[in-house]
Amino acid sequence: MPFMKSEDAIIGKQARAFATINGRVEELFYAKSIEATIEKTKTDIPILGRMNVAKKSTGWSGSGTLTIYYVTSLFRALMLDYIKTGRDFYFDLQITNEDPTSSVGKQTTVLKRCNLDSVIIASFDASSDDAIEEEMPFTFEDADLLDQFNKPASR
């Protein structure tokens, strides 16, 4: 029976992330985590003679959450520009997962036309010794895989 080799599990600490905002590439070295999901939109299809309701895929939506350490004003400044001028902003996120101990190689994902839902405009917690973080939910309109993982080797 084949088993995945434990060293092929990808450790997220080796990831790299970049945001391309207004043509400028910003390395997100202050990012703590990101998770992006594609969710299908489905429509109910009742079928005569069946007790269950079938589903038909009719579209999709992309959403995610970017968690960063509270050390940059970049996203607050973009949001302030939006509330003062009404000009919304979109950007691309590129995430590369690569663990040098794994034989599966790397995967590079690009999330296109990301748009933030909210940002924290100000924050502090005088009772905590933890670093301040901010969680920024976002949506995206397209995605690509620039690099794909190799098939894991088995034992």
Check residue 151 and give its pLDDT: 87
For residue 1, being part of any structural domain is answered with no
Question: Could you tell me the residue range of the domain that residue 69 belongs to?
Answer: 6-147
Mean pLDDT of all residues in the chain?
A: 95
The pLDDT assigned to 82 comes to 98
In a domain, 154, yes or no: no
Contacts with 68 (C-beta within 8 Å, 6 or more apart), sequence order: 28, 30, 31, 32, 133, 134, 136
Higher confidence at residue 90 or residue 6? Answer: 90
CATH of the domain at 119: 2.30.110.40
* 131 in any annotated domain: yes
- Tell me the pLDDT tens digit for each residue of 48-69: 999 999 999 999 999 999 999 9
Specify the pTM. Answer: 0.91
Domain count for the chain? 1
pLDDT tens digits for range 89-123: 999 999 999 999 999 999 999 999 999 999 999 99
Query: Per the domain annotation, does 68 fall within a domain?
Result: yes
Contact 15, 33 (CB under 8 A): no
pLDDT score, position 109: 98
pLDDT at 113: 98
Sign of CA dihedral 144, 19, 70, 134: negative
Distance CA 57, CA 41 (A): 6
